[in-house]
Amino acid sequence: MASSVSQGQAIRRQIIHVGMDFGTAYSSISYVIPDPFGQVEPGRSQVHFSKVYLSEGNMVQTRIPKGDYTENDYEGGWIKWFKLSLLHPDDLPKGVRVLNTLDISTKEREALDLSATDAAAMYFKDLLGQFLGALSLGLGHEELARYDVEITVAVPDKWPVDARRRLHHALQPTIAAHANVRLARKFVPEGEATAIALLSDASRRGNFRGQGFEEADTVIICDCGGGTTVGFNLPTSISVHDAHLLKDSIAYKVTSTQPLTVEEISPGKCIFAGAVLVDEAFLQLVKDKTKTALPRRTFNTLTDSDFQDFVDEIWEQRIKVRHSIGAPRRDFSLPHKFLGSRANRAKMSFSVDDINSVFDPTVDKILNLLESEIAEVRRATGNGPKHVVVAGGFGRSRYLQLKIAQKVESLSPSTLTDWYTDEDGWTSVSRGAVLHAVQAHMRSIEPIVQIEGRASGESYGVDRRTDGSMHWLIRQGEVLSTTGPNRRALPSDALRRDTNGRVFVNMYRQREPDARVELFDCIVLTAVGEPQNIAFDFRWAGGEMSFVLVYGDNRQVPFVHQNCYDF
């Protein structure tokens, strides 16, 4: 039988889109398999039930074993928090760098001669390897071989370039070990992934209370997790706070409801506040109470692992999630190792004030950012938000939910506060990464929320050689189209020549309105001659901004980035 595909014509392989949320404390994987025509129904995406290093569920702990690992009977300790060490220490605030748990985990990892990249690679080998194995088992090896598997990884919205490089390097061994598996060309910002997932969910069934979206609506989504916090505002506007460690706030407005289309109305803000800080505070509370209750000799025999094991037993699923405003005292039996012959008590008690003191320093930071987001919505729209939605792993905390509800009530009485009682809010990052990829390949059967404009987080400009004044091309907060063009004319007197006759232009950056203006880039034109009417065309790739130089009928000007001190 003759083939319906002409000789030499490439057959387009279908893609299974996979989204990965690599979290500080918990991680997850979501995926979607296309129909026989290569189309994707967003509502059919699934969260994978993972089984990784004795942790299982839709969200699994981000950790690797300290010692030789044998499944089921492993009783050794765990190395955690290595995601934070993918950043240079200078990129972490002092309050995070000095965390005792991070210090211990880093020393234990280094004692095994593992870099943070090595630890992440070891984790991905199990997390992604187990997923790909389950996918092969479910579809069948021959059926899976018909597809390409593309993995889109979400990263914190303002992660430095060097951290992204280390993450990319850590992913390579697992990707290379599996046929027809590849990474997406770009990482997706966690905040944007969260917004896409939660807004797409809401747009399919109305909004967060079952009503339809209207252009005058505003929504603030507080995505509170283990290591990052993100905020979005929509008039219909969205503000998402992803409260792991890094807290971002991004404002959007709805420009269309059919399909739901939004654009940012303010650039992201970042503070460090989240669940891992609360975990650290509770661990310290347990140590302080133990030191008071036990004889010094018994206390001195206890190791960091002893304390961590006790905390793991009573904190994550019992106190952290269930503690509420006005909660009764909680009593817990001490482990055998804690019971010295002269121990004063066999139980450890926690009053409501004890637990409040663990939460409040971090919760207060989240509430302060939420207050600024509500003010931003009011400034942009004249009204408070219609909804504040609490999501993420830390967003399951009843105490945090109620504190946010109280804050919202005091600031904007007409605003409704909503939270998730299932895992939809917790898995939104990985689910949103899948939808982001489907959207990029334009393979969706039904519309996914479109983000058509992003606000620049910094100002960019060039200096004029005639008088040395700054000509700003983009101001912080200026909204640039995600589809372009975003052309900004280059003043002719911004072009210079060096002693070798090369034509170049200096680009400057200002991170905050009152911050110092700094030399950011030296751009050397490599074309023969000097094209007239040159313009910058700024473009978005995921959450990252880049540019090309163009002239005339959108023809590109070739250039190279030059070390500023090589002239």
For the CA atoms of 208, 212, 215, 216, the dihedral, rounded to the nearest 10 degrees, stands at -60
Q: In what order do the strands lie in the sheet with 487-489?
A: 487-489, 535-541, 544-551, 555-556
Asked if the structure places residue 343 within a domain, the reply is no
Range of the domain at 132: 14-189
Asked if the structure places residue 549 within a domain, the reply is yes
- Provide the 3-class DSSP secondary structure of residue 447: coil
Q: Is 148 exposed, middle or buried (0-12, 13-18, 19+ CB in 10 A)?
A: middle
Nearest CA to 228 out of 196, 270, 188 is that of 270
Asked if the structure places residue 317 within a domain, the reply is no
CATH number at residue 46: 3.30.420
**Which pLDDT value is given to residue 532?**
80
Q: Facing residues of 246 across strands?
A: 228, 272
Asked if the structure places residue 120 within a domain, the reply is yes
Number of domains in the chain: 2
| CA 407, 252, 460, 566 torsion-angle sign | positive
Asked if the structure places residue 363 within a domain, the reply is no
**Which pLDDT value is given to residue 226?**
63
**Which pLDDT value is given to residue 212?**
64
Residues of the chain with pLDDT under 50: 1-10, 228, 234-247, 565-567
Spatial separation of the C-alpha atoms in residues 142 and 132, rounded to whole Å? 14
**Which pLDDT value is given to residue 553?**
80
**Which pLDDT value is given to residue 251?**
64
Q: Which of 189, 208, 233 is the last residue of a domain?
A: 189
| CA 354, 355, 358, 359 torsion-angle sign | negative
Q: Which of 161, 189, 217 is the last residue of a domain?
A: 189
Token pair of 72 as six digits: 């089921």
**Which pLDDT value is given to residue 339?**
83
Q: Which of 160, 189, 218 is the last residue of a domain?
A: 189
Q: How many angstroms separate the first and last alpha carbons of the chain?
A: 66
Asked if the structure places residue 207 within a domain, the reply is no
Asked if the structure places residue 302 within a domain, the reply is no
pTM, two decimals, is 0.84
